[in-house]
Chains A and B, each alone.
Chain A
Amino acid sequence: QKEVEQDPGPLSVPEGAIVSLNCTYSNSAFQYFMWYRQYSRKGPELLMYTYSSGNKEDGRFTAQVDKSSKYISLFIRDSQPSDSATYLCAPIGPYGQNFVFGPGTRLSVLP
């Protein structure tokens, strides 16, 4: 079993839709859960991160962590064409170790 798994997509949605991006992990030592957005031919940029189970909201983005089931989600409300990118989840250990990225989910928001 891979340490971090994501559905690679591509996921195509119409503009304004609510998008749900999911990620599972196997290492229970992971304590921080990062979401990165990567546009084509660019480096990843940090969207948000959470520490504990539960929800964290930042504008149109909501990150959700369920440590008991080792399941991470990122929700995007009112999706825009500018949200079209690859979304990478990256759980890490308590001291910044074991920095592991998922394969990413490619999202396309159609105008």
Chain B
Amino acid sequence: DAGVTQSPTHLIKTRGQQVTLRCSPKSGHDTVSWYQQALGQGPQFIFQYYEEEERQRGNFPDRFSGHQFPNYSSELNVNALLLGDSALYLCASSGPEGLNEQFFGPGTRLTVL
């Protein structure tokens, strides 16, 4: 059983560009959450998707947007990249058996130059 997968593994962008990160949830999971983790910090909640809609959102600007597809996979889009957007972006999935048990992917390391 594949766990949560994310692509790409690493990404380098320049300021002002746009980026799309992808996530496939663990089999049987229908809820996807995205987190930003700066170096030496804990993950910061960006938003959560369920039934193709954004269900919760953290304190992130509108430059951060997302999408969930009918197969429960998800994308995170970030527009007008800033240097401060450099971080590890984590995707976590959870299933109907419990929102509490979130399983994380390995993350996408984004570097903005």
Contacts and interface: CB of A to CB of B under 8 A. Distances in A.
Nearest to A31: B100
Contacts of B35: 101
Given A88-B42, A99-B33, A103-B42, A49 B105 contact: no
Given A8-B40, A101-B44, A103-B42, A43 B102 contact: no
Contacts of A49: 100-101
Interface residues of B, number: 23
A96 interface: yes
B100 A104 contact: no
A100 interface: yes
Interface residues on A, range: 20 to 34
Question: Chain A at the B interface: mostly helix, strand, loop or mixed?
Answer: loop
Interface string B1-33: 000100000000000000000000000000001
B99 interface: yes
Contact of A46 (B41, B90, B103): B103
A23 B94 CA distance: 24
Interface of A: 4, 6, 8, 32, 34, 36, 42-46, 49, 88, 90, 92, 95-97, 99-104
6 contacts: A32-B100, A34-B100, A46-B101, A101-B35, A101-B43, A103-B40
